[in-house]
Amino acid sequence: MSSTKRKSNASTSASTKKARLANEVAAESVRSVLAQPSDFLIPEGEVDVRRLILELAHYARSLEDQIESSKPKPMSAVEIGAAADKLRAAARSGIRKQMTWKPTCKTGTAKWVYDGVCADPIVFGAFLGLDGPPGFKTKKMPKDEFEDLVGDLHVPIRYDTLRITSADVNIRLSEADGTFKCSGTYGK
């Protein structure tokens, strides 16, 4: 027979509980005003009116803080570079795995397509060696420039080496969902 332990409430401080209770009171005031916009109750004394306005102000500030804390923090240049390097390593690995021997390798017309996801346009721009987010949906990049960015794309096979044979690498970006596609041909 196993017993489950309850979580301790010791980590919740008294001030947090008071703030939460005050926010609930203010939220209830907002609900009552919105429920009866033309005839909601207005406190009679100046002190009560000031208290209501102060509650609403604190409530508005807490909502602003919640929104601010939910926004993603901007990445530093080092973090952007690290994310771009990680994306390059994934692309290099994915492209190299596709470069296997097939009869069309003799003529250099075997096709490869790498599908990737990068939700941050600034990181994708760094992946392509740009100074900011890309301003295009499709682009042709010279294969030498692409290999300089991504890394070595030569794959040894039994008696030869496979390499990218297309003059350009096609890059398509879908900004809506952050997906991208790199494609080209390879062979001996």
| pLDDT tens-digit series, residues 96-115 | 888 888 888 888 888 989 89
pLDDT exceeds cutoff 70 at 95: yes
pLDDT band at 46 (very low <50, low <70, confident <90, very high): confident
Name the token pair of 115: 């599908």
Contact 186, 108 (CB under 8 A): yes
Cβ atoms of 166 and 184 closer than 8 Å:
yes
State the average pLDDT over residues 146-172: 86
The reported pLDDT for the residue numbered 1 is 53
Q: Is the per-residue pLDDT at 163 higher than 80? A: yes
Main-chain dihedrals φ then ψ at residue 184, nearest 5 degrees? 180, -165
Question: How far is residue 161's CA from residue 155's CA, in Å, rounded to a whole number?
Answer: 6
User: Is the model's pLDDT at 10 over the cut of 80?
Assistant: no
Question: Which of 125, 72, 117 lies closest to 91, judged by CA?
Answer: 117
pLDDT at 81 over 80: yes
The pLDDT confidence band at residue 63, using thresholds 50, 70 and 90, is confident
Q: What pLDDT is stored for residue 178 in this prediction? A: 81
Q: Name the band, by pLDDT with cuts 50, 70 and 90, for residue 16.
A: low
pLDDT at position 27 over 80:
no
Is residue 184 a contact partner of residue 157, using CB atoms and an 8 Å limit? no
State pLDDT tens for residues 127-138.
888 877 788 888
For tokens 């596609």, the residue is 181
At residue 94, φ and ψ (nearest 5 deg) are -65, -40
Q: Are 186 and 163 in contact (CB under 8 A)?
A: yes
Least confident of 12-16, 47-51, 141-145, 183-187: 12-16
Q: pTM here?
A: 0.58
Rounded CA separation 37/122 (Å): 45
